[in-house]
A and B are shown apart, each in its own frame.
Chain A
Amino acid sequence: MRKQVSSLVIRRLLIALITLVIVSFAVFFATALLPGDTATILLGQSATPEAIEGLRNAMHLNDPAILRFLRWIGGLFRGDFGTSYANNVPIADLIRGRFANTMKLAGLTAAVSVPLALTLGITAAIWRGTLYDRFVTVATIGIISVPEFMIATLAVLLFAVYLRWLPALSLTNEIKSFHDLLRVYAMPVVTLTFGVSAQMIRMTRAAVVETLNTPYVEMALLKGASRSRLVLKHALPNALGPIVNSVALSLSYLLGGVIIVETIFNYPGIAKLMVDAVSTRDLPLIQTCAMIFCVGYLFLITAADIIAVLSNPRLR
């Protein structure tokens, strides 16, 4: 029995690793397909062909793609992400602060949105069909349909421009107290929470409603179990798989998909860094950012799958 679980988990981890290799391959060659020549861009329109050729040689741009790929992968494994083409700074230095910022924003948003979404989803499922359930359902659909930039812009208009309660820009280096932290993060966190919670609420509600309709929950009810016992002991453990998966999907969005929010609030996160890198043809930086997103995504999805396996006695 135990052996089966560990083999399942190991297989899942292996799949994640293989996926990562395939993704790195795709990331490298997709960025290589970007139009424009790096050397030309770096030296400007007026550069002589000799100068461009010299730079290409110096940057190993004339080597075969597969060689450059292997060199890059090898570097990644040693923790050497390469050097930025645009400003000749090690990418690790560029990313370090940005990554911490992104994680901070994602962490805060997760800390707010996950408990909120699970509570709303589960309670809506318990009182399904009631006014409360309808309100939650309509509200989540309403929020899903409003694009993030709209919420963010409205929030800025209301809280920063009219009410002047919060700063319009999230300047993280101005944080000196907990109060500052709240002020700086309030709007981006709320905007992102709106975006990611809706999906989690809907998935949680659907999963719990489905298990509440099963014969074993009816059986528990006929054994005299209370409502909270029905939900917490009988329904939730069986709904865990889909719930954890929807949480993982929502959180992975926080790692890489928050470009709009970062832009509107001028928040120095990793998504913004990547977009800037695209406009400067900074290939190593783009590749590294893409890899970070993929690793984060894979980590979350794999973790969700493993939790789902462990929570199911039929697989355990």
Chain B
Amino acid sequence: MTRNLVEIRNLKVEATTDSGRQIEIIKDVSLDIAEGEIVALIGESGSGKTTIAMTLLGYARQGCRITGGEVRVDGIDMVSLSESERSHLRGTTVAYVPQSAAAAFNPAITIMDQVIEVARIHGLMTAGEARAKAISLFRGLSLPEPETIGSRYPHQVSGGQLQRLAAAMALIGQPKIIIFDEPTTALDVTTQVEVLRAFKAVTTQHQIAGVYVSHDLAVVAQIADGIVVLRNGEIQEAGSTSKILEDARHPYTRELLAAFRPKAQERPPESEEATKQALLLVNELTVGYGSRAGSGEPLVSAVKSMSLRLDRGRNLGIIGESGCGKSTLARAIAGILPTHAGDIMFNGLELGRAGRSRTRDELRQIQIVFQHADTALNPAKSVEDILGRPLTFYHGMKGKARDARIGELLDLVRLPKSIRHRRPGELSGGQKQRVNFARALAAEPTLILCDEITSALDTVVAAAVIQLLKDLQRELGLSYIFISHDLSVVQAICDEIIVMHRGQKVEEIAPARLKAPEHPYSRLLFSSVPKLDPAWLDTLHQDAEQVRTYCHN
């Protein structure tokens, strides 16, 4: 057997916590990667997958330290090298494609200068040669206008393009191995397909090995030869992609696989058909940002003549890509953003255009839960204060009654009562999202608008949150409007799905009645969702014309 390109032996990484405690975040990890092989590291956030991948560059993020073991890349142990020796190998032997290219490109430097920087730093070739090579890479990654795209600044190109430009930046030094750190997590599904294709093509063509860090099994199935499943800094299971997908041994791997497969709707048959009652009726709603002088029309209309209907006790899903106006719609319904035209009827009564003109009771009945619990919860307040505020505001609760209600709310979202004195920073991502949800429940609403509430969560945690939502619906008779770009989530919980594109409703689909999407955009969107089948990407045929029409990548 030939020597492996990467040999990690007994790797240990320690982190220093804020309180100064040392904790081992990578515990004795060993793994091999052969020449030209792509290995995926998967696991939930905090499992140490990115940390392991980074050690191939001899790098540990601030507060972390490699404390033991070897990381041999092409025969050289990155751990024992000095910082300047490592920098010689970075970009030339090992290259890195970051999770968010939008953040990893320097906003003050043109793209071309950043792409060819590797060649300049290591003196690999002249600037002219580097430019020519970059342009050929841009072409290979099917970027538009390969000749001139380099002269733009990062803010002038889209997220999907930046992600591919980041790949070009990694490829220019002809590395032996590339580290892909969740490179498609921040992208829309239709864009993700394009980017995955480009990555797969270049790694195959240049015979480059790769480490693909991800929490999405389906994405990994398309691109990786082998999969390593991690949890708490330890390898749970490793094997070839097909073996892991078909014959997972470890319970955690099975849990991951199970969480991925959408559970069928387990709702009672529609017996209450006769008593159907519209809870929310939105009619020809137009919402936008900025104001044009005079006419009062918004400068940019994010939602255009949108109509929808939601019956009591039912769930509506709204899907679409980033920028399609789905969050704007939710904010308008909640009254955060004043509407421009059209009306919103709630429980048969017309709601005011903006939150200011609604009564407190109207406000109470519609609650919104934001995507990022991190930013939606005040980091300086304890869980108790966060939940107590709406109780006092809407129900005038004080003292013992309020304390008791906070306890009940924590029970409802299946959180231990002991966390009530903690601050959001001391909670995990899933716990924070539960607190965020409990805050909405505190108002005792009839309708909850969930704006991408699971997209920042790991697959397993997200599945648990969805289950919680279903349970609460049964117990409290809530209705949800569920906004997401993740089809599987929406399908799991919604009775009806609206597909949005550029601020307009494209199609309404009812998954229960097995009505298949008909509109070309919906079909494109549905077909772009990765499947666990490793052959999915290669057999996926999308009309190039349609992709160009509907995607702005």
By a beta-carbon cutoff of 8 Å, the part of chain A in contact with chain B is: 213-226, 229, 233-234, 237-238, 311-314
Contacts and interface: CB of A to CB of B under 8 A. Distances in A.
Interface stretch (B82-90, B241-249, B334-342, B371-379): B82-90
A222 B117 contact: no
B206 to A, nearest CB: 18
B26 to A, nearest CB: 18
Given A215-B100, A313-B153, A314-B153, A222 B57 contact: yes
Interface stretch (B101-109, B286-294, B348-356, B465-473): B101-109
A312 B154 CA distance: 12
Given A224-B90, A311-B108, A313-B155, A219 B98 contact: yes
A218 B117 CA distance: 14
A233 B106 CA distance: 10
Given A313-B153, A314-B153, A224 B106 contact: no
B108 A223 contact: no
Given A215-B98, A215-B100, A314-B155, A222 B91 contact: yes
Given A222-B96, A314-B155, A216 B107 contact: yes
Contacts of B91: 222-224
B169 interface: yes
B105 A223 contact: no
Given A237-B109, A311-B108, A313-B155, A225 B117 contact: yes
A214 B61 CA distance: 12
A127 B87 CA distance: 18
28 contacts: A215-B103, A215-B104, A216-B103, A216-B104, A217-B106, A218-B98, A219-B104, A219-B105, A220-B106, A222-B95, A222-B96, A223-B90, A223-B96, A223-B118, A223-B169, A223-B173, A224-B87, A224-B118, A224-B121, A225-B121, A226-B87, A229-B121, A233-B109, A234-B106, A237-B108, A312-B108, A313-B107, A313-B155
A238 B122 CA distance: 24
Nearest to A217: B106
Contacts of A221: 59, 87, 90
Interface in B27-63: 57, 59, 61-62
A216 B91 CA distance: 14
B18 to A, nearest CB: 14
Nearest to A213: B62
A224 B122 contact: yes
Given A218-B98, A237-B109, 15 more contacts: A216-B105, A219-B104, A222-B57, A222-B59, A222-B90, A222-B96, A223-B90, A223-B117, A223-B118, A226-B87, A233-B109, A237-B106, A313-B155, A314-B153, A314-B155
Contacts of B108: 237-238, 311-313
B371 to A, nearest CB: 20
Name the residue among A222, A233, A234 with the largest chain B CB count within 10 angstroms: A222
Contacts of A216: 103-107
Name the residue among A216, A221, A226, A237 with the largest chain B CB count within 10 angstroms: A216
A153 to B, nearest CB: 42
B436 interface: no
Interface string B117-151: 11001100000000000000000000000000000
Given A221-B59, A223-B117, A313-B155, A238 B106 contact: yes
A238 B104 CA distance: 13
Contacts of B92: 224
A224 B98 CA distance: 15
Contacts of A313: 107-108, 153, 155
Contacts of B153: 313-314
A219 B96 contact: yes
A68 to B, nearest CB: 39
Nearest to A316: B153
Contacts of A219: 96, 98, 104-106
Contacts of B121: 223-226, 229
A305 B344 CA distance: 44
A314 B104 CA distance: 16
Interface string B58-92: 01011000000000000000000000100111111
Contacts of B88: 224
B446 to A, nearest CB: 42
Contacts of B87: 221, 224-226
A220 B116 CA distance: 12
A238 B103 CA distance: 13
Contacts of A222: 57, 59, 90-91, 95-96
A231 B122 CA distance: 18
Contacts of B107: 216, 238, 312-314
A275 B96 CA distance: 62
A65 B513 CA distance: 81
B367 to A, nearest CB: 34
A82 B520 CA distance: 78
A111 to B, nearest CB: 27
A220 B114 CA distance: 9
Contacts of B122: 224
A224 B90 CA distance: 5
Contacts of A233: 109
B65 to A, nearest CB: 14
A295 to B, nearest CB: 31
A185 B402 CA distance: 68
